[in-house]
A and B are shown apart, each in its own frame.
Chain A
């Protein structure tokens, strides 16, 4: 049986403690976590999943971090200026730079936000139900949430030009962290937020993170998660985005690290004319596994959603993609697209693809696609003929495979920085 990592009261630092009412909710969440049965493969959201990987027995509360300075130095981000920077080590705030934020914009740890902006917190914090299978682990997250959460609130008609970068570090053998990013955008607000998930050492760790994004009318959000946990980390990343009328959300999740990652992304098009772009790039090797479940929920008219997930699988890695486009009755003029592409780099890699559609309205254009295949020998030959060795040619193809996905990001400088990051990862910079 899976048990929750024990978490003595003392690990919650007095400075980041949540108000009493929330602590009561946390106690209830822990009870809910414990009483909710663990998933089985008979549950559709866990079809093909490797449930053995979900053993949480060994994980312990994260210890205090050894050196704040080391983490701060290592928090380089994607480069360039930022509007705000928050760095957390083992769910404790170690650096806060918010001086360049426009007036009225809030970027602060959740425990403070629960005190200072209680109404906002109550309205938006985990307001969306977790529908894609991990509701049990969402309860665990809520119960164990301490200092590792952030509220980003951009009020009406305010644009934050520079990106906000958030760093979540984990350190120590079997340490557990519970990062949370809550973004609330008022009407016509605009912001770019980049989450970095990093390990300070190569140790095994457990992360159970949640993101809640709420886009008011006409708001624009660009969100990037650079997940770079140690190669021995078990992580849940549960994201939900609520897109209001004429709002526009673009989210990219880059999974570079982790041993077993369960990702759930739900985009609910709640207002007419909303748009959601969902992107993910997943280079995998060794015996690493990624299990991603997505839902494009069209609950309004004239809304657009566009999902593109790309996986490159080497060695004995495995990926599961299960996506669903759901068009609820009456939501005419829906335009939804969903595509998963698996680039198979080795004989032992396994890709499970389950792209789904549930369409309850006729006035729609919905398509999906799934492909799996290897690197074309012709392409490799072409490069070899021009003096590029096979190994490098292969890396170029993989980098190109991911790079073309970045084309869907509108912000040019962000796109260039992410492209540089991908190139550096594949040694083709």
Chain B
């Protein structure tokens, strides 16, 4: 893991918070219109030429979506502000992504070039997929990786071209009925990645997906399925941005990971949606014997994020891990956490969550650790630390731990604190402004977690934290 030297000069910070805050006027070839009903779903199925079983799956998801109540008996009442009738559920320029940048439509190309996607691909990525509203605009994988038998395509292409693997796992880790938003996603999903890594293949460089919302009132519902076959390893990274529109936007993804015996999956997210996006995501992994699934999750943007990445440790000695950083600024609510189900003996899990609340920002940790009956040798460690910057900042912690039997061990620790005034004073004595000192202290608070991120992401993360901290003092 690349370590970031504390003392090195920070590179010139030429990115600004508004890097994602632009949109192009698009003429969409396919538009399902505003609102959701059976016809919308049929429209999506027709455009995407879905097989019958997918159509049935979508309809079933839609029924479950209607049946399920909003989870406001425990979750934020801000959810009531989502008006499902006002959302556009499908917008695209066509369902086949380009393999080369030259073929990507001009406006989309400009979008992704401004966000630096092709540049990153050249530099260090093994494969890239760039999703623009409902469909992938670009999808490419380096020849060497493709030759190893690694499949990296959009979910639509995955279900058409690789049904034998796709269908076996699709919807199995997260059933449509898991929650209201997974049901909604099942009804209208489009885009997202399908990845298959053959046995024993270790993908050296990360695969990346970039999710972009361009249109106002648009709902993005990507669906990602990653299968790492026996003994394989893969790292997947996703980034996401949207312009700041006046009205709210919904992003509701479902991500399913399957790590077969001895496989390792790392899933990295840097979520920087603009502050009008409801980000309601269901993410879960299934770890077979001796497999390892690690979620590295960083939430900086959005209006309300509700995301609790989970690992079901199904095989002996499987391991689950969630590393989570959340930063809630004025008007934001980061409701994040983790879910660990120890369904087999000798499984271990680790949850480390750090949150920072600035101004009226609210960060919430919600967790579930469950050790079912008759397990032995299971271990869980959970640490949640919250940092509050201003007197009106808020943090909540709601863990639930269900331990059964005397042959397992669970421990949970959480703390809430503010920035140490003496540290700030010390730094100011040495010539730093209060803002710089605060920024440094916050970076120090999350530093041990930032190290877990891939190099490029950890640099970006530090910059984002610096930017968020600007003007938060006083």
Q: Which residues of A contact B (CB under 8 A)?
A: 42-44, 47-48, 329-330, 332, 342, 344-375
Contacts and interface: CB of A to CB of B under 8 A. Distances in A.
Contact of A367 (B373, B411, B413): B413
Contact of B400 (A353, A362, A375): A353
B406 A346 contact: yes
Contact of A351 (B392, B403, B407, B413): B403
B119 interface: no
B390 A362 contact: yes
Given A44-B73, A366-B416, A348 B373 contact: yes
Given A350-B404, A354-B399, A362 B410 contact: no
Interface string B401-430: 111111111111111111000000000000
A353 B401 contact: yes
Contact of B418 (A43, A345, A364): A364
B417 A365 contact: yes
B398 A373 contact: no
A370 B416 contact: no
A358 B414 contact: no
B403 A353 contact: yes
B463 interface: no
A127 B131 CA distance: 59
Contacts of A364: 388, 416-418
Contact of A344 (B74, B392, B405): B405
B402 A352 contact: yes
B401 A348 contact: no
Nearest to A322: B400
Given A345-B406, A349-B405, A374-B407, A356 B413 contact: no
Given A361-B391, A373-B410, A344 B403 contact: yes
16 contacts: A44-B74, A347-B374, A348-B404, A349-B406, A351-B403, A353-B401, A362-B391, A362-B393, A365-B416, A366-B416, A367-B414, A368-B412, A369-B412, A369-B414, A370-B401, A374-B407
A312 B396 CA distance: 28
Given A356-B398, A357-B397, A330 B391 contact: yes
Nearest to B407: A374
Given A44-B73, A346-B406, A347-B406, A356 B396 contact: yes
Contacts, number: 132
Interface in B410-454: 410-418
Tell me whether chain A's interface is mostly helix, strand or loop, or mixed: strand
B394 interface: yes
What are the 3 closest A-B residue pairs judged by CB atoms, nearest first? Answer: A374-B406, A372-B403, A362-B388
B15 to A, nearest CB: 28
B410 A371 contact: yes
Nearest to A313: B406
Contacts of B336: none
Given A47-B400, A358-B394, A361-B391, 5 more contacts: A349-B406, A353-B399, A357-B414, A357-B416, A370-B411
B406 A354 contact: no
Given A359-B388, A361-B391, A368-B414, A347 B405 contact: yes
Contacts of B412: 353, 355, 368-371
A350 B391 contact: no
B402 to A, nearest CB: 5
Interface string B348-363: 0000000000000000
B450 to A, nearest CB: 22
Contacts of A359: 386, 388, 394-396, 416
Nearest to A369: B413
Nearest to A370: B412
A361 B73 contact: no
Contacts of B386: 357, 359
A363 B418 CA distance: 6
B389 interface: yes
Nearest to B397: A357
B390 A342 contact: no
Contacts of B374: 347
A375 B407 CA distance: 9
A370 B410 contact: yes
A48 to B, nearest CB: 7
B396 A358 contact: yes
A304 B201 CA distance: 56
Between B74, B404, B411, the greatest number of chain A beta carbons within 10 A of the residue's beta carbon is seen for B404
Between B388, B397, B403, B412, the greatest number of chain A beta carbons within 10 A of the residue's beta carbon is seen for B403
Contacts of A342: 403
A348 B415 CA distance: 31
Contacts of A358: 394, 396
A367 B407 CA distance: 27
B403 A368 contact: no
A355 B399 contact: yes
A357 B396 contact: yes
A360 B396 CA distance: 9
Given A349-B406, A364-B388, A373-B409, A354 B401 contact: yes
Nearest to A350: B404
Given A332-B391, A348-B373, A361-B391, A367 B404 contact: no
